[in-house]
Every structure is written in C-alpha cells, then in structure tokens.
A and B are shown apart, each in its own frame.
Chain A
Amino acid sequence: MNPTDQASAQQAFEQIQLNRDGKLKHFLTTEGLDRDTLTHILETAESFMGASDQGLKKVPLLRGRTVANLFFENSTRTRTTFELAAKRLSADVLNIDIQRSATAKGESLLDTLNNLQAMLCDMFVVRHAESGAAHFVAQHVAPHVSVINAGDGRHAHPTQAMLDMFTIRRFKGDFRQLSVAIVGDIVHSRVARSQIHALKILGVPDIRAVGPTTLVPQELQEMGVSVYRDLASGLADVDVVIMLRLQNERMSGALLPSTGEYFRQYGLDNRRLKYAKPDAIVMHPGPTNRGVEIDGAVADGAQSVILKQVTYGIAVRMAVMSIAMGNTAAGEQP
C-alpha cells in the first residue's frame, strides 16, 4: 500500500466512526478523534462509577436493545466485561461462539451479520485477529446498528485504551502534566497503538516507548513518542508505567533471545520501579506473564492498579456503548 492509500484508508477509518453531526456512532479506533469526544467518554464513565459506588449497578439506558458479542478471537476478560457492561445498561446480550457457529461451517461473515441483524441486534462488539475487521463490519451494517471494536489484529483496541486513560485520570489527574512510559512489545500491540493515540489527543506531553529494537523500532518516533532502549532512562521520573504482555509467539519468531533474558533487561521488578516517581502507578492490560515482563511483587504491589483497570473497564465500556448507541439512534431520526 503506498502512503497516499494508507492515509486515505486511515481517513476512512476515522470518518466511518462518526454520525452526520460528527458524534461517535461506531468506536473503531482512538486515532483521529478529538479531545472532547474522549473526554466525554471519560466523564460518562465517571458517572457510571459514581452510580455503582452508590450501589446502583444497573441503569435502564439500553433496555430493549440487543448487543451481540462477536469474538472471533478468544478473550475471556474483554468479553466478560463487555457482557457485564451491556447487562448493567439493561441490554440483552448474545455471545456468539464463533468456533461453533455457522461461520465455522463456512457461512461468510456477512451472512452471519445479516442473520444477526434479522434478529434485530442493535450493536456488534467485534474482536478479530485481522486488522480492519471491525471496520469491515461497520461498513456493512444497517444504519441503526453500532459497532464497537474489541480488538482487531495489530490495529486497535480502543476501549482498552480508554479504560487505561480513565485509570490514569483517576490516579494522576491532569493529562497535560504527565510522563507516561509504555514498556515492551509495542510494534505488535494494538493496545499500545490505541494508547499512544489517546495519550496524544488528551495532551500528554511526554510519551515514552521502551524496549529492544525488534519490539520498539526507531520509526515509532513518527507517532510522537520518544524511544528508549533501557529501563533506567525510560522510566526515569515517569508518573505512569504501562507494561505490555510479551506474547509467547514472539519468542519463537527470533525477535528475542529468551524470556529469561527479556526479564533481565526489561522486566519490571521493585528495584527498577524506583527509577519512576515514588508515586508512579503500574498498569498492565492483562493477562500478565509473571516473571516475563513483570515481577509478581510489582503486579501485586502497592503501586499496581492492574485490578482497578479491570473494574474501570466495565464503566468505560458502559460509557462507550451508551454514547455510541445513543448517537446511532439519534442519527436515525428524520
């Protein structure tokens, strides 16, 4: 793909997310959205947290609507939190087990979608190993249907990025004062890509990418991040440390010598955490590989907010679903 095609493909991604009033209709990527849209998501999530802190777990916003979870790639936590979020909005939820569904029997993705639409589904939550899958779905759904990307290939995982932004905002406040380090396999990570876009949009002045050349290529600088090769300088005085999962398949691909060697160089233990500010928080999108990218003592330690991220993930997904569904429904009005 030449650069012009790439740019126009990216624009198509960004455009299709918005309704004719410029409001979020599908949530496919954080890239290209404006600060107001992201802030609206964070503030709405804050209201849902407030309601749940008050003991109110369920609100009637999406009563009578049906959300279908289409997970072509397994992810128990993401699917569960999407399911809980939809249920706490009073929606009905269908979990389509793709491995056992008609798609596995050769039905095309579009046939599956059309059948679900014929069952009057209002929202598809899509996770797929191919980059662009959620975008493809969004291009083909009926106008009343909203699509949420729950992770597509190496491209984007926007709700994970937004729950990370929510976590950072809750613990650290003003984005415009922060230094954030992302450590690990950034080049293959849809989470990191979505995080970097969101952090930039929200005005974080110092975003660092830390890791070996094979996982953190120098070209990442073009995304507006500073590249660091060692933890000591990469973590120096940061407010937020985001550790990424080291995927086992990278080990066989000759990108890294061994997991032990990786931990020696880039694993986060309590000694190395001291490079960061004393009140820095440690985040991880999960599931963690203890002893590979993060030491158990750090994952369970006082500075870890990893389980908070999971809790916040429900409120953030409630926010995204209700905003997107509301704007989709409103866009249907004459």
Chain B
Amino acid sequence: MIFADTARTEAMLDDMTEKLRESLGDQLESSAMIGIHTGGVDVASALHKRLGLSAPLGMLSISFYRDDFSRIGLHPTVGATDLPQNLEDRTVILVDDVLYSGRTVRAALNEIFDYGRPARVLLACLVERSGHELPIRADVAGASVDLGPNQQIKLQTDPLMLHLEGEPT
C-alpha cells in the first residue's frame, strides 16, 4: 500500500529542505552532502537540487563496512563510493531513505571517518521508523512512524514515492 504518494513525498522533501536550511544557516553552502546507496542517493539528489548546493553530491557504498559479514558474507556491492570533496573539517549532511535499525548509518559513519574527520555530521532521512537498535537518531526527518517488525517502507524512484509493505503484528 502507498505510504506517501509523489505529492506527499515531494512535500516531505520540501519540509526537510527548510529544516536543513534552518539548522545549518550559513554553513549550508560549505557543507558536503552524501547519500547512502541506493535509496539514500535518490533522496540526497532531490535535497541537493532543492538546496541548490554547488559542491557535487557524494555517494557512499557501505558494503565493506557492514556488520553482518560473518553471518551472511559479502553483499553484492551496490554502486561505488564517490566522495568528490575532502571531508576534513567540513559539515557533512548524511542522507538515507529510511532510518530503521541504525546499522547502515553506523557503517556509513565508520566509512566517512576512514576518509577524514568532518567537523560535524548531520543525519537526514526521508522516514524515521521505530525499531532502532543503536543510539542513532535523525537530525532531520520527513516523517516519523511507528511500525511493526514485519513492516517495511520501500522507496520507489521516478517518480519518488513510498510504499508500506507487510502486516502489523
């Protein structure tokens, strides 16, 4: 079923854009925006465009930083890490589509710090949902929602919209 249609998703992105402008102020222009493959990159491109950032969008593939290697082996690698800017002492806006357990963000943070030491990292997610397993929260979220462990939010691209799959238990 549809969680947010295209108009609603666009409105959430507009809302996130405003919140990012507010919280970053004049630091915004010098910030580096990084999307996590794959959904995070789609959300980040939309935000990047809205904010009119001049620095190119960075992309992060976390395949080599996941914490489930010993349990399920190497994931098929999706996309490649491409960070066009030096992250040293910069404000980083880290973007993902859905914040759930927090494990993806943990992996992304470890990877980011292998590239440099940012001054500050902000987390922006289109949807923050219940089920956190780590002390990681979004600084900016388009929506927050309580969902059961069998429910999943899926991002559809072109046009951007969100689907809700699975049954609440």
Asked whether, in the complex, the Cβ of A54 is within 8 Å of the Cβ of B65, the reply is no
| A229 CB-CB contact with B under 8 Å | no
Task: Please measure, in the bound complex, the distance between the C-alpha atom of A51 and the C-alpha atom of B70, giving whole angstroms.
Answer: 21
Asked whether, in the complex, the Cβ of A50 is within 8 Å of the Cβ of B74, the reply is no
Asked whether, in the complex, the Cβ of A44 is within 8 Å of the Cβ of B73, the reply is no
Q: Which residues of A contact B114 (CB under 8 A)?
A: 56, 58-59
Interface size on A, residues (CB 8 A): 23
Asked whether, in the complex, the Cβ of B61 is within 8 Å of the Cβ of A47, the reply is yes
Closest to B65 in A: A60
| B80 CB-CB contact with A under 8 Å | yes
Task: Please measure, in the bound complex, the distance between the C-alpha atom of A322 and the C-alpha atom of B70, giving whole angstroms.
Answer: 11
Q: Which residues of B contact A40 (CB under 8 A)?
A: 76
Asked whether, in the complex, the Cβ of A59 is within 8 Å of the Cβ of B77, the reply is no
Task: Please measure, in the bound complex, the distance between the C-alpha atom of A40 and the C-alpha atom of B76, giving whole angstroms.
Answer: 7
CB contact under 8 A between A323 and B80, given known A59-B64, A61-B69: no
Judged by DSSP, the binding face of B is helix
CB contact under 8 A between A44 and B77, given known A61-B69, A326-B69, A329-B70: yes
Asked whether, in the complex, the Cβ of A46 is within 8 Å of the Cβ of B73, the reply is no
| B157 CB-CB contact with A under 8 Å | no
Asked whether, in the complex, the Cβ of B74 is within 8 Å of the Cβ of A60, the reply is no
Q: Which residues of B contact A59 (CB under 8 A)?
A: 64-65, 114
Quick one: which of A54, A56, A60, A323 contacts B73, CB cutoff 8 A?
A: A323
Q: Which residues of B contact A58 (CB under 8 A)?
A: 114
| B83 CB-CB contact with A under 8 Å | yes
| A23 CB-CB contact with B under 8 Å | yes
B13 to chain A, nearest CB (A): 28
Task: Please measure, in the bound complex, the distance between the C-alpha atom of A55 and the C-alpha atom of B64, giving whole angstroms.
Answer: 15
Residues from 236 to 292 in A contacting B, C-beta threshold 8 Å: none
| A333 CB-CB contact with B under 8 Å | yes
Asked whether, in the complex, the Cβ of B74 is within 8 Å of the Cβ of A322, the reply is yes
Size category, B interface: 20 to 34
Quick one: which of B61, B74, B76, B115 contacts A61, CB cutoff 8 A?
A: B74
Quick one: which of A43, A56, A330 contacts B77, CB cutoff 8 A?
A: A43
CB contact under 8 A between A23 and B73, given known A47-B63, A56-B114: yes
Asked whether, in the complex, the Cβ of A51 is within 8 Å of the Cβ of B69, the reply is no
Asked whether, in the complex, the Cβ of A326 is within 8 Å of the Cβ of B64, the reply is no
Asked whether, in the complex, the Cβ of A56 is within 8 Å of the Cβ of B115, the reply is yes
A143 to chain B, nearest CB (A): 14
Task: Please measure, in the bound complex, the distance between the C-alpha atom of A205 and the C-alpha atom of B74, giving whole angstroms.
Answer: 31
| B72 CB-CB contact with A under 8 Å | yes
CB contact under 8 A between A56 and B72, given known A47-B63, A51-B64, A61-B64: no
| B156 CB-CB contact with A under 8 Å | no
Asked whether, in the complex, the Cβ of A50 is within 8 Å of the Cβ of B81, the reply is yes
Q: Which residues of A contact B65 (CB under 8 A)?
A: 59-60
Task: Please measure, in the bound complex, the distance between the C-alpha atom of A329 and the C-alpha atom of B64, giving whole angstroms.
Answer: 15
CB contact under 8 A between A329 and B80, given known A58-B114, A61-B74: no
Closest to B68 in A: A330
Q: Which residues of B contact A54 (CB under 8 A)?
A: 81-83, 115
B63 to chain A, nearest CB (A): 7
Asked whether, in the complex, the Cβ of B61 is within 8 Å of the Cβ of A329, the reply is no
Quick one: which of A55, A56, A326 contacts B74, CB cutoff 8 A?
A: A326
Residues 76-117 of chain B, each 1 if its beta carbon lies under 8 Å from chain A, else 0: 110011110000000000000000000000000011001100
B133 to chain A, nearest CB (A): 19
Q: Which residues of A contact B69 (CB under 8 A)?
A: 61, 322, 326, 329
Q: Which residues of A contact B83 (CB under 8 A)?
A: 54
Closest to B107 in A: A60
- Contacts A54-B81, A329-B69, A330-B73 supplied; 16 other A-B pairs, CB < 8 Å: A23-B73, A40-B76, A47-B63, A48-B64, A50-B81, A51-B64, A51-B80, A51-B81, A54-B82, A55-B115, A56-B111, A60-B64, A60-B110, A61-B64, A61-B74, A333-B72
Could you give 9 example pairs across A and B, Cβ below 8 Å?
A51-B64, A56-B81, A59-B64, A60-B64, A61-B74, A322-B64, A327-B74, A329-B71, A330-B72
Q: Please report B residues at the A interface, Cβ cutoff 8 Å.
A: 61, 63-65, 69-74, 76-77, 80-83, 110-111, 114-115
